[in-house]
Amino acid sequence: MAQDLSTLKGKSTRSSQEEKDLAKLTDLASELRDFHDELLRLAKFWKPNLNDGVQITAAPLWKLFQHKAWQKKLKETWGKLEKGDYDWAHLACSIWPERVLRKCHQDRSFAIAHDVEDHFWHEVEVPIIRRGKDTGEVKYEWQPKDLSDNELNVLVKQLIAEKV
């Protein structure tokens, strides 16, 4: 293709068919450059994980899809990823780790999904209360660790550094 394009551009006079071919090849070359540039941009942060599912995994690539219905669906999914609707997804954590890891301290299922449960949660012994009275029995329940804002900031930064 590059050689054909170069040959056609090098001609001082072209037939109408050669003009059409030149236009097509020029458009194709431009499209390929845009495609290449978009892939390079995405490669900086896109770390696909098949456990996220096809739709979430493909969402950052929405601009590259020709099929309009699929492109629209992926663009919607990308918007939801950006808003934080899918912060359980590995892709979200690879792109916005600080936001996602902070949520892991609020939502144990996120912490489990991102394999950081031990950093943010612990099992706590709590008394069993019936009809407002302590029964003397205990049960265990999962609770977020009591972390100050500063401790949470340090932990999040440490986890981000370890994942890189």
Does 116 lie in the same domain as 157? Answer: yes
Query: For the chain, how big is the Rg over CA atoms in Å?
Result: 26
Each of the 164 residues of the chain gets a pLDDT tens digit; together they read 667 656 666 666 766 776 676 677 777 778 888 889 988 988 888 888 989 999 999 999 999 898 999 999 999 999 999 999 999 999 999 999 999 999 999 999 999 999 999 999 999 999 989 998 888 899 999 999 999 999 999 999 999 999 85
Residues 26 and 90 in one domain: no
pTM here?
0.76
pLDDT of residue 7: 67
Cα distance between residue 128 and residue 147, in whole Å = 25
The reply to whether 54 and 91 lie within a common domain is yes
Judge if 103 and 53 occupy the same domain: no
Q: What is the pLDDT of residue 88?
A: 97
Judgement on whether residues 40 and 50 belong to the same structural domain of the protein: no
- pLDDT at residue number 96: 95
Count Cα atoms within 13 angstroms, Cβ side, for 97: 18
Domain shared by 111 and 148, yes or no: yes
Say if residue 90 is in the same domain as residue 106. Answer: no
Same structural domain for residues 156 and 140? yes
38 and 52 share one domain = no
Number of domains in the chain: 3
Q: 145, 120 in Cβ contact below 8 A?
A: yes
CA distances from 150 to 26, 97, 156 (A): 55, 17, 10
Residues 107 and 63 in one domain: no
Burial annotation 88-107 (CB, 10 A radius, 16+ → b, else e) = bbbbbbbbbbeebbbbbbee
Find the length of the chain: 164
Sheet strands (E) in the chain: 121-130, 133-144
**Is residue 22 within 8 Å of residue 7, measured between CB atoms?**
no
State the Cα–Cα distance between residues 103 and 113, nearest whole angstrom. Answer: 12
pLDDT value at residue 32: 84
Which range marks the domain in which residue 32 is found?
A: 1-44
Whether the CB-CB separation of 142 and 122 falls below 8 Å is answered with: yes
Residues 144 and 91 in one domain: no
**What pLDDT does residue 122 have?**
97
SS3 33: helix
Together in a domain, 54 and 90: yes
